[in-house]
Chains A and B, each alone.
Chain A
Amino acid sequence: MSDVTTGSRRLGPGAKKALGIFARYGTIIGLLAMIAAFSFLSPRAFPTVNNFTNVLNQASLAMIIAGGLTLAVTVGELDLSIGFAASLHGILVTGLIVHDGVPIPLAILIVVALGAAIGIVNGFIVTKMKVNSVIATLGVGTIITGAAFAYSAGVPIVAGVPEAFLQLSLGRWLFGIPNNIVIMVFILGALWLLVERTSIGQQIQAVGGNAAAARLAGINVDRIKTLGFVISGMCAALTGILLASRLGSGTTSAADSYLLTAFAAVFLGSATLRDGEFHILGTLVGALIIAFGFNGLNIFGAPTWSQYVFQGAILIIAVGLSSLGRVLAER
């Protein structure tokens, strides 16, 4: 029998507390450290009001779609259709305005309604046909991509996009705050209120936490899950519309890559403040980490491929360290 010593690897209460804090605040600390590091390395280009506004403006579209996705994952499902859907919505809104002469507000309304309808379809397939949400939303997303190609014949809609539609995304509001940021704050604020402060939000959290228990507590689980998909779909529509406005065109596959960014933001967010739960504030922090990371890499002229490496690596590191910290703190 080998020698036995006492307390060699036992964690004291202090160390545990520190680990617990690290697990919860690690992503926020990381975000602040990253901002500090970039500010130190590039004091003239990075820490300016202009650059920060720019980063937020750029990130707003990702934050909106990630905010919607947060609802879908909170009810315990994945929505892989959002990127493809956002692309379709971008084409459709420009098409409606340019080709069909539909007034801008009505076009936006139609497209957001379509986003909600896609959510209902996703919800129906998952809750009534009992198809796994990964398969269901991947299937729906693929069909949507087909619809987008059918609608546009693969040709971007560029000519004749009215200035008023461009102003939706490019315009500025009070104190010169870009519209995108205003819309994002409004949407995320509303989602936060819905999830954290209303009875519907309690049901959403219960369904995600334990669907069987929620059902037996008298919650209409199918309806709540469908609601998650609907909100996810509507946010995807908004992001698609704002992207088309920013690009000044409706282009197939333009918003596809938002799927990855949204998932990264949402899962980074689940490692923030709460122990592995999805929530709006966390998603916001996750999206900020990605946005500032990209921005910093850009300022230093890092090649495009490095952004993907960054996004993948930061996700694994942040979520991994957080769960590790949690496991150690529990011991």
Chain B
Amino acid sequence: MNGPMGAPPASPFVVARGITKSFGGAEALKGVALDIRPGEVHGLVGANGAGKSTLIRILAGLVQPDAGVIEIDGRPAAIETPQRATELGMNFIHQELAFVPGMTVLQNIMLGIPKRSRFGLVDWRSIARDVAPIARRVGITAPMNATVRGLSTAENWLISICRALVRKARLIVMDEPTASLSASESEKLFAIVRDLSASGVAVLYVSHRLNEILDLCHRVTVFRDGRSVQEFDRDGLTRQALVEAIIGGRHAEEPPVRHAAAGRKVALSVLGLTRLPRVKGVSFDLHEGEVLGLGGLVGAGRTEVVRIIYGADLPDGGRMTLDGEPFAPRRPHEAVRRGLGLVPEERRTEGLVLTKSLAFNVGLANLERIVMSPALPFIRGKARANLALETIRALSIKAEGPETPVGKLSGGNQQKVVIGRWIAASPRVLILDEPTRGVDIGARAEIHRLIRGLAARGMAVLVVSSEPEELPDVCDRVFVMVEGRIVRELSGAAVTRAAIVAASYSETHQRELVQG
């Protein structure tokens, strides 16, 4: 095995200096530095688009830097391929884990590793004997000969870590490891990370979750706008300092003033909407100028409700009215024609045409506005470009211009493009499903401000969010769903994180009204 215990702790395993990288004309990295010492848990934080993933891709040999030096054990290294990165002792565990579902746990652990053979056949038995202690150490409970299909995400993480250790990793890079783990699974992962660290394996821990960073990391590097702006040691590491470094001096939002729904006109009324098994008789009124939140746990039926309202799915029962008129869209374009807009949950797969430009994507929901006339539907290029420029300005999107392909923007900026499309269209009712998922702190506050601004202009806004922290920031009222039903309605000062969480776990199927 490797012997990092003997090495003086101050001499780093990996050093990156002055790394720059551009894609097309966009500078993703403008000179970042990072050093990782043997056996340390090193946090890497920064807003979306700050350059974290680009640096990781460079270390992994997936992309080549334009300039800069990478040293491994003090010697310059060229990481030309992912294989080379593995040889150098670096292993990468991504959010989307790569396994062959039909193969066994052991086969997946040994994927891409030269295997011992006897008489020309792979000697799985002796391999299993060698792997077993490592698997025990990371806590894999599934049998080695079980297929990976059907195992939990947590178990997949353990298998990935085991694979890294079998490859004699000296550094394991974990990208948002707890994003899809439960609280108890996360705790288990933290224990393993600490154990890895104690045995001399360094961990580069990339996460938006600052509590984890504060708990786990020996040192933390903060990226902002393609630069490494600050490095924290264990002492001096506070939440406040991290947040300031990440957002660069921008201030946190004040809690919003909640408006009472009373006295406002009802824009969208939903009565007894049902689509079994997920939606069981949902009723509510959405008023103009109001931001209404739909909270609850994943799987409570919120997205399903929204899809019915938008015409993406058909209900089994119930009815809707829009401004008093019957409303029963059979397909999304019918809903859009009646004045609805949707910012979907998955911006990359459902929101954007990634290969196309920003102007194209904004224009999609605004075609009537940018053609010469309905009878002569030629696109006025200038009108389209101006619409895109307005959107860029209004939402402070970081893009070179209207013709930038949206695939090259960061997650937060992509989300702003989807939202901007509908702001430009200014629908009567705008639905936002998880509007800030995977978006960094700064962009998140901006998106919240935008949503409130839309309501202030009289739009009726429905926000779906799985994060209880999010709804109190933007909503005037919040409905909490449990198992296909609305169980609680919160308004005024009663709209709090605690109230939403409590209601999400409630078992009553009696709707309660809580007012603060």
A330 to B63, CA, bound (A): 8
Q: Nearest CB to that of B381 among chain A residues?
A: A197
Contacts A200-B377, A210-B354 given; does A218 touch B333 at CB 8 Å: yes
A213 to B: closest C-beta gap in Å: 6
B412 sits at the interface (CB 8 A): no
Q: Does B349 lie within 8 Å of A198, measured CB to CB?
A: no
Taking Cβ atoms with an 8 Å cutoff, the residues of A that contact B are 1-2, 4-11, 13, 193, 197-203, 205-206, 209-210, 212-220, 275, 277, 330-331
B72 CB within 8 Å of chain A: yes
* Residue B337 at the chain A interface, CB threshold 8 Å: yes
Write out the residue numbers on chain B whose beta carbons fall within 8 Å of the beta carbon of A209: 353-356
Looking at the assembled complex, report how far the CB atom of A326 sits from the nearest CB atom of chain B, in whole angstroms: 12
Within 8 A of A (CB), among B363-379: 363-365, 367-368, 370-371, 377-379
A220 to B364, CA, bound (A): 12
Contact across chains for B80 and A197 when beta carbons are under 8 A apart = no
Tell me if B19 counts as interface (CB < 8 A to partner A): no
Would you call A197 and B379 a contact (CB within 8 A)? Answer: yes
Residue of A nearest to B70 (CB): A6
In the assembled complex, which residues on chain A have CB atoms less than 8 Å from the CB atom of B266? Answer: none
Please indicate the chain A residues that have their CB under 8 angstroms from the CB of B235 in the complex: none
B76 touches A6 (CB 8 A): yes
**Best-surrounded residue of A199, A200, A218 (most CB of chain B within 10 A):** A218
Q: Are B353 and A206 in contact, with the CB atoms below 8 A?
A: yes
Verify A219–B333 contact, CB threshold 8 A.
yes
Q: Chain B residues with Cβ under 8 A from A206's Cβ?
A: 353, 356, 360, 364
Asked if B484 lies at the interface with its beta carbon under 8 angstroms from chain A, I say no
Q: Do B367 and A203 touch (CB < 8 A)?
A: yes
Which of B88, B312, B364 sits near A214, CB closer than 8 Å? B364
Alpha-carbon gap, A11 to B371, bound state (A):
43
Q: Which of B78, B356, B360, B379 contacts A8 (CB 8 A)?
A: B78
For B332, the chain A residues whose CB sits under 8 A away are: 215-216, 218
**Interface residues of B, Cβ cutoff 8 Å to A:** 23, 63-66, 69, 72, 75-78, 80, 87-88, 310, 312, 331-333, 335-337, 341-342, 344, 349-356, 360, 363-365, 367-368, 370-371, 377-379, 421
Taking a contact as CB atoms under 8 Å apart, the answer to whether B64 and A11 are in contact is yes
**CB closest chain-B residue, reference A196:** B379
Q: With A11-B64, A199-B367, A206-B356 given, is the CB distance from A216 to B350 under 8 Å?
A: yes
Please, which residues of chain A bring their CB within 8 A of the CB of B356? Answer: 205-206, 209
Residues on A with C-beta less than 8 A from B367 are 199, 202-203
Q: Given the complex, which residues of B lie within 8 Å of A2, measured CB to CB?
A: 87
CA distance A8 to B65 in the complex (A): 13
Interface of chain B, main secondary structure: mixed
Q: Are B353 and A214 in contact (CB under 8 A)?
A: yes
A-B contact pairs, 21 of them (CB 8 A): A9-B80, A10-B65, A198-B377, A199-B367, A199-B377, A199-B378, A202-B367, A202-B379, A206-B360, A209-B355, A210-B349, A212-B349, A213-B353, A214-B353, A215-B331, A217-B365, A218-B333, A218-B336, A219-B364, A220-B331, A331-B63
Q: Which residues of chain B are near A277, meaning CB under 8 Å?
A: 355
List B contacts of A10 (CB < 8 A).
Answer: 64-65, 78, 80
Give the docked Cα–Cα distance between A220 and B75 (Å): 58
Cα distance, A45 to B279, chains bound together (Å): 74
Q: Closest CB of chain A to B306's CB: distance in Å?
A: 11
Q: A212-B349, A215-B333 are in contact. List 15 more A-B contacts (CB 8 A).
A: A4-B72, A4-B76, A4-B78, A10-B64, A198-B371, A198-B378, A202-B367, A206-B364, A209-B353, A210-B353, A215-B332, A217-B421, A218-B336, A219-B364, A275-B355
CB distance from B82 to the nearest CB of A (A): 12
In the complex, which residues of chain A have a beta carbon less than 8 angstroms from the beta carbon of B64? 10-11, 331
